[in-house]
């Protein structure tokens, strides 16, 4: 910012109050458009970028031209010119905030926090529940703890120096490993739709009903989500490779035992509980690894990994169908999935590794209790964002599973062959390979992290109730599968992002854990409801299932609306607070400059200062207006035209 002083001073009078001396080295640190203290520059809304962030204030300020942009913070007497290092920290903090992941939350526990004030009696003093961002910053500064997210997460524990991810190198090998594990867990589960179709069309287990197979599908999802927090705790206690190796063996055993099943309860235990439980202990540790390798290229790496689910869905849905067709039984199809996934996950476990190894912790009752207490923080339950995001995710995932598990069966009821039905399932998963990486990119760049999922929910509801219901031919079902697959992974891509945007660094892991447990209970009955709504007495047996699936995505929109209102409100509260600080500092900085006798480096401009004060006062009034606590302004915030 200091480097841009000369250019800033040539802007309209409301954006600068002083003229600068040409020699940058002689500049007094008291500069307009800089920070009021040593803290990094306040960002009024982390979800708004550039022009979008400035336009909010310009719209809300009265009696000013549309080109006016709100004044940023003023710098106080105690401030100093930012070094290149600090500017880099600020920029990297923005990147980390935008792409915060579960692995960062885990790494936070392992970072070194060097005390500056070594004589402080309570260097590890915790934050108070009511502390705002500034209070937390001041407390960290007072106690000598790192004040930026980058420092908190990437400070090397042994050296005390910031150790940033290399954004490449061996990290790309780890990306390939995570893709493989995603394909072998969630991707292989997509092949259950082919198994389900075969189980329903053939009397494989005498006495078993279609509800039994639907419950098994739900059990897999329930165990995978419900046990995810436990997998995180076990990884810290026993180590990443130990947990993943055991899970790999359990995964193989589940499929092999399921191939020998002769009664339906055998399938409940083997393909349901055993296979589903192994998922958590494979994909959770794998996803912890990537954040230590990537920062600026994290979005690219995560997008590739998201495609692993679709890739696995293509491979296993086609492979399972081909094996069943050749052997005329599900036995070798189950064994094929178990053997192939075991081989691929074994290779992944061998080659995947965190850049900064996570030390194993002692296995004591006290330590386990401590882990559970941190993982399930009761105060998180009072947070509105937890319930909005979790229930939104649950409803979207229910709709996702209804489509994935029912699409091929619907195709056969329309007269298509099993091969064609399997191709449709494969196409949905193939579309996810390319669709998922783009979802996060479009949300961040153009629409907003909360708004874009709501837009896609509308699109998916229209596709299901407007296109899928009327699709009867193979060609129409192909196009429908392509469009559905490209967009239907929105909940899996955006859920963790929404949680990260709603909680602090310390709260994130608890929000993530509770969200997974809430999600598990919604996942259990999803396929039971899908098949329960099936009506064989009408020409389209899946009509009510399709309508219900579309309504799930519509309901998800209304569930996420309060999250949008809350983030708009939070944005304006932050802006209002900053405007007040700027207003308080104008007179202080003006008096300092007036008494600064260095050969007219600065000159006083009373008119500009008065205009600046007026602009800030008007901005505060506008924020007060939009923040009013009544129904009218609640709905105004709900649908406010803001990228958020």
Report d(CA 95, CA 99) in Å as an integer: 6
What span, in angstroms and rounded, lies between the C-alpha atoms of 506 and 139? 15
The answer to whether 321 and 194 are in contact (CB under 8 A) is yes
Interval 34-46 mean pLDDT: 37
Confidence label for 197 from pLDDT (cuts 50, 70 and 90) = confident
Q: What is the pLDDT of residues 628-640, one digit of tens each?
A: 998 999 999 988 8
Residue 480 pLDDT: 95
Q: Which of 76-80, 118-122, 152-156 has the highest mean pLDDT?
A: 152-156
Residue 297 has what DSSP assignment? T
> Torsions phi, psi of 556, nearest 5?
-60, -35
Can you give the pLDDT at residue 139?
Answer: 54
List the beta bridge partners of residue 162: 155
Q: For residue 11, what pLDDT is reported?
A: 39
Task: Calculate mean pLDDT across residues 156-168.
Answer: 78
Q: What is the H or E stretch that residue 543 is in?
A: helix 543-594
With contact defined as beta carbons under 8 Å apart, do 200 and 210 qualify?
A: yes
Tokens 């550039």 locate to 50
CB 188 within 8 A of CB 342: no
**Is 340 within a domain?**
yes
Q: Is 600 exposed, middle or buried (0-12, 13-18, 19+ CB in 10 A)?
A: exposed
Q: Residue 561, SS3? A: helix
Closest of 552, 527, 522, 513 to residue 222, by C-alpha: 522
Mean pLDDT, residues 150-174: 82
Does 178 have pLDDT greater than 70? Answer: yes
Q: Mark out the alpha helices in 99-239 (DSSP H runs).
A: 102-108, 133-143, 149-154, 171-182, 188-190, 192-201, 210-226, 228-238
Report d(CA 604, CA 594) in Å as an integer: 7
Residue 476 domain-assigned (yes or no): no
CA angle 566, 570, 573 (to 5 degrees): 140
Going by C-beta distance under 8 Å and a sequence separation of 6 or more, which residues neighbour residue 385?
Answer: 498, 499, 502, 503, 511, 563, 566
Q: What is the extent of the structural domain holding 305?
A: 165-375
The percent of residues above 70 in pLDDT, for the chain, comes to 77
* Phi and psi angles of residue 155, each rounded to the nearest 5 degrees, phi first: -80, 125
- Segment 249-263 shows an average pLDDT of 94
Task: Please write the tens of the pLDDT for every residue from 112-143.
Answer: 444 444 343 343 344 444 455 555 555 555 55
CB 36 within 8 A of CB 7: no
d(CA 17, CA 34): 12
What letter would DSSP give residue 369? H
CA distance linking residue 102 with residue 387, whole number of Å: 19
Give the separation between CA 284 and CA 101, rounded to whole angstroms: 12
- The full 3-state SS of 256-273, as one line of letters, equals HHHHCCCCHHHHHHHHHH
**Which CB contacts under 8 angstroms, 24+ apart, belong to 24-29?**
26/598, 26/601, 27/2, 27/81, 27/601, 28/593, 28/596, 28/598, 28/601, 28/602, 29/75, 29/79, 29/80, 29/81
DSSP letter assigned to residue 308: H
Number of independent structural domains in the chain: 1
Q: What is the CATH number of the domain that holds 267?
A: 1.20.1250.20
**Residue 214: inside a domain, yes or no?**
yes
Residues 56-63, mean pLDDT to the nearest whole number: 37
**Which pLDDT does position 373 carry in this prediction?**
83
Q: Could you tell me if residue 7 is inside a domain?
A: no
Average pLDDT value for residue range 136-153: 62
Instruction: Identify whether 441 is part of a domain.
Output: no
**DSSP string across 17-76:** -S---S-GGG--S--TTS-SSSSPPP-S-TT--THHHHHHHHHHSTTS-TT-----PPP-
Residue 70 clears pLDDT 80, i.e. is over it:
no
Which of 98-102, 107-111, 468-472, 520-524 shows the lowest per-residue confidence on average (mean pLDDT)? 107-111
CB atoms within 10 A of CB 594: 11
Section 547-571 average pLDDT: 93
What is the radius of gyration, based on Cα positions, of the chain?
Answer: 28
Query: What pLDDT, on the 0 to 100 scale, is given for residue 136?
Result: 56
Q: What pLDDT, in 10s, does the model give residues 410-420?
A: 999 999 988 89
pLDDT exceeds 50 at position 53? no
Torsion angle defined by CA atoms of residues 33, 39, 41 and 47, in that order, rounded to the nearest 10 degrees: -160
Residue 382 maps to a domain: no
CB proximity list for 478: less than 8 A, separation 6 or greater: 423, 424, 427
Model-wide pTM > 0.85? no
The two three-digit tokens of residue 250, written as one number: 């359990």
- Computed over every residue of the chain, the mean pLDDT equals 78
Residue 354 in any domain: the answer is: yes
Q: What's the pLDDT score for residue 590?
A: 55
Is residue 515 in some structural domain? no
Q: Which residue has the higher pLDDT, 197 or 511?
A: 511
Query: Could you report the per-residue pLDDT of 485-532, keeping only the tens digit for each?
Result: 999 988 888 888 888 888 887 788 888 889 999 999 998 888 888 888
Is the pLDDT higher at 126 or at 59?
A: 126
pLDDT value, residue 279: 94
**For position 146, what pLDDT does the model report?**
59
Question: What count of other Cβ atoms lies within 10 Å of the Cβ of residue 257?
Answer: 18
pLDDT exceeds 80 at position 580: yes
pLDDT of residue 135: 55
Of 216-230, 244-258, 356-370, 559-573, the least confident: 356-370
16 vs 226, which has greater pLDDT?
Answer: 226
- Tell me the C-alpha distance between 331 and 337, whole Å: 10
Q: Which residue has the tokens 């219900």?
A: 548
* Cβ–Cβ under 8 Å, residues 320 and 333: yes
The SS3 assignment for 255 reads helix
- Which of 41-45, 265-269, 275-279 has the weakest average pLDDT? 41-45
Q: Would you place residue 21 in the very low, low, confident or very high pLDDT band (cuts 50, 70, 90)?
A: very low
């Amino acid at each position: 910012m200091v480097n841009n002083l000369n250019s800033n001073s040539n802007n309209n009078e409301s954006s600068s109050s002083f003229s600068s001396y040409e020699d940058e080295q002689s500049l007094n640190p008291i500069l307009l458009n800089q920070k009021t203290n040593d803290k990094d520059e306040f960002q009024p809304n982390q979800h708004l970028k550039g022009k979008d962030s400035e336009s909010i204030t310009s719209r809300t300020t009265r009696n000013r031209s549309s080109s006016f942009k709100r004044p940023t913070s003023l710098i106080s007497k105690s401030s100093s010119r930012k070094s290149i290092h600090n500017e880099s920290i600020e920029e990297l903090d923005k990147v980390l905030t935008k792409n915060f992941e579960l692995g960062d939350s885990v790494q936070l526990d392992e970072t070194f926090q060097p005390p500056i004030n070594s004589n402080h009696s309570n260097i590890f003093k915790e934050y108070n529940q009511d502390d705002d961002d500034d209070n937390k910053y001041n407390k960290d500064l007072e106690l000598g703890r790192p004040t930026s997210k980058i420092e908190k997460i990437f400070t090397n524990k042994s050296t005390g120096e910031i150790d940033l991810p290399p954004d490449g190198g061996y990290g790309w090998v780890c990306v390939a490993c995570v893709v493989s594990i995603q394909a072998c867990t969630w991707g292989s589960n997509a092949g259950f739709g082919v198994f389900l179709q075969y189980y329903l069309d053939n009397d494989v287990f005498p006495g078993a009903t279609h509800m039994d197979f639907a419950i098994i599908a739900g059990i897999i999802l329930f165990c995978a989500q419900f046990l995810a927090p436990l997998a995180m705790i076990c990884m810290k206690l026993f180590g990443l490779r130990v947990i993943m190796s055991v899970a790999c063996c359990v995964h193989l055993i589940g499929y092999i035992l399921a191939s020998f099943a002769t009664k339906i309860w055998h399938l409940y235990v083997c393909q349901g509980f055993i296979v589903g439980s192994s998922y958590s202990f494979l994909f959770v540790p794998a996803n912890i690894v990537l954040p230590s390798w990537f920062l600026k290229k994290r979005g690219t790496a995560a997008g590739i990994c998201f495609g692993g689910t679709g890739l696995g869905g293509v491979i296993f849905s086609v492979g399972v169908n081909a094996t069943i067709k050749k052997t005329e039984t599900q036995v070798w199809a189950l064994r094929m999935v178990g053997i192939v996934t075991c081989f691929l996950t074994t290779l992944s476990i061998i080659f995947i590794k965190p850049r900064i190894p996570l030390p194993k912790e002692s296995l004591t009752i006290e330590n386990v209790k401590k882990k559970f207490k941190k993982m399930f923080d009761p105060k998180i339950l009072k947070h509105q964002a937890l319930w909005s995001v979790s229930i939104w995710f649950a409803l979207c995932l229910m709709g996702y599973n209804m489509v994935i598990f029912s699409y091929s069966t619907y195709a056969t009821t329309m007269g298509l062959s099993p091969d064609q039905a399997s191709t449709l399932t494969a196409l949905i998963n193939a579309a996810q390979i390319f669709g998922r990486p783009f979802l996060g990119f479009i949300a961040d760049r153009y629409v907003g992290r909360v708004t874009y999922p709501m837009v896609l929910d509308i699109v998916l509801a229209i596709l299901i109730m407007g296109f899928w219901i009327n699709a009867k031919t193979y060609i129409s079902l192909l196009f429908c599968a392509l469009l559905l697959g490209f967009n239907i992974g929105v909940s899996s891509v955006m859920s963790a992002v929404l949680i990260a945007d709603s909680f602090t660094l310390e709260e994130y892991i608890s929000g993530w854990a509770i969200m997974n447990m809430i999600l598990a209970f919604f996942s259990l009955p999803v396929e039971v409801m899908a098949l329960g709504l099936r009506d064989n007495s009408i020409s389209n047996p899946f009509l009510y299932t399709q309508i219900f699936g579309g309504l799930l995505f519509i309901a998800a929109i209304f569930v996420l609306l309060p999250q949008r209102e809350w983030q708009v409100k939070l944005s304006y509260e932050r802006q209002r607070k900053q405007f007040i600080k700027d207003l308080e500092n104008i007179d202080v900085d003006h008096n300092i400059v007036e008494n600064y006798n260095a050969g007219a480096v600065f000159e006083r401009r009373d008119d500009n200062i008065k205009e600046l004060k007026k602009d800030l006062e008007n901005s505060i009034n506008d924020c007060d207006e939009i923040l009013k606590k009544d129904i009218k302004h609640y709905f105004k915030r709900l649908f406010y035209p803001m990228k958020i």
